[in-house]
Structure 1
Amino acid sequence: MAEAPQLNSTFPCPAFFLLTGIPGLGSAQAWLTLAFEPMYLLALLGNGAMLAMVQVDSTMHQPMFLLLATLAATDLGLATSIAPGLLAVLWLGPRPVPYAVCLVQMFFVHALTAMESGILLAMACDRAVAVGRPLHYPILVTKARVGYTALALALKAVAIVVPFPLLVARFEHFRAKTIDHAYCAHMAVVELVVGNTQANKLYGLVLSLAVAGVDILGITGSYGLIAHAVLGLPTKEARAKVFGTCSSHICVLLAFYVPGLFSYLTHRFGRHTVPKSMHIILSNIYLLLPPALNPLIYGVRTRQIRDRLLETFIFRKSQL
């Protein structure tokens, strides 16, 4: 018969946790702000500019740009959910985070990550319809349907991520008040729990595999349809032009899923060979790099956005 957990060296539900940042680096972790701070500034400026352009330019009130605006809003939320606290820890050292705030941060980080993955799937489906059935695209893909899709993705993200903080909140004792991480990641908090955490670990694993697996499967199917349509085009120039319309999305997919996959694999299978500090650095890169890169990718590779930025820059320069 299993023994009950000993509580003499544990703490009741704490009023706050202490985030330590990146363990093992000491004062050297302040240098990491040279990487993370520019990422956050790029995310703020780039995604803010994207949202402003779509808002003020009526020619961009089209499904594709509305999906981009939804992605930009999600990226802003995702970067802001961790970057201010991360930079504060790196600069100033360990900082206290109220218990309730920690659970809220946990929810938003995971919900916005799931939301971003769903938006990338929606964008892949949008490109598949645009390439495969261009004549029916205005009928099949409308602004209203984009809005309903964004709402459905948001509701799905909330529904599947709400159990994370709820599963943690049911525990009344913790082994420590210190979280060896830069933000309140689900598993970083679960490691402090006293009690049976199998449900937490199993739900986290199943959710990660299900969300990423379903979305990647849908994206793969969409690009299979795109490839089939492209191969049916009569000329090389036509195939190159159609492929060019998808290149931005492909770059965004790589920026999101490659760091995420690398972070996941090192966390699951490199626990004893990869230093914990590297796990935490990778998890922060995974959350901050896509919001920083996405506006740059679309700004450089999408003609309408590039032209709009040039027009704005030239107009402002002429006013000086």
Structure 2
Amino acid sequence: MQGAGRMIEIVPFTQSEREIWNALNAEARNGHFLFDRRFMEYHSDRFQDCSYIFMDEGKPIGLLPANIAGDTLYSHQGLTFGGLVVDQRVTSVRMLAIWDILLHRLREQGVRRLIYKALPSIYHRAPAQEDLYALFRHRAQLIRRDVTTTIDYLSPGVRSKRRERGVKKAVKAQLHFTESQDWPAFWRILSDTLQSRHGVAPTHTLQEIILLSERLPEAIKLYLAEQDSQAVAGVVMFDTATVAHAQYIAASEQGRDVAALDGLFDFLIERYRHSHRFFDFGISNEDGGRILNEGLVTQKEEFGGSSVAHDVYEVVVDTSAL
């Protein structure tokens, strides 16, 4: 290959590259602990791994966390996000070369589609959207868009009077807010809430979330609102270098009566103010992004958040180019 990509090669991930993978993810402009092998491997029995490492003159410069199902490569079905993870050496030209090499490999494998979950820019340590330009060049189609609600601590929105009243109600109820390891207590609240309201279970089982929190204690944390030493609400936080993200949110009936989540979010927003750029409440969409839960997104926006897009693209692999 000519130009900046002449020395780039694509290497299928194997366990022998585990340390190389994790080291690059930790240093990348757009690394995320979801791409750490300690996280990815908790559900390795459910997804056929088809991840790749990109090497330039023998040194790793990029990663693609991915799984394969039939004739489709996903980046990644088992993760909220996917996409190419790159270090400072991946210029726009090198990114185009990486895509050419990747698509050539997929053609050889008989892959006909690539589903690509782009990492939202709030998670970038430094700008890293070269992949979006490459997607455009390869005629990628946007097939899903969710919106997450995010507070930018450098330019926060105005908190509503309703949320302020909720915080005062929680204070009046003398709730105690704390980091906790009482995962079973919160998982009961979460499971009951999801089952009664939506007829579903949490994405992770209790055993899985405990396992992941033990593997990545600096990234996965539980915070509780307690009344009379009893958990009445909780939030599971996923912490990255730039974003404090609320992954799971739930309150018991007793907690809802005293606005426990309003009080807990007030506590958390202040806790992360000086260590992170963004506080993210998560998405408020259903049906592949086509439905916006207006009540839910309004509740989040009333804390001063605004929308960030989560985009998913489809690239049709032209197998006739072989």
Q: What's the TM-score bracket when you normalise by the shorter of the two chains?
A: under 0.3
Please tell me whether Structure 1 or Structure 2 has the larger radius of gyration of its CA atoms: 1
**Structure ranking higher in strand proportion:** 2
TM-score, normalised to structure 1, is: 0.23
The structure, 1 or 2, with the larger RCO (C-alpha pairs under 8 Å, 6+ apart) is: 1
TM-score, normalised to structure 2, is: 0.23
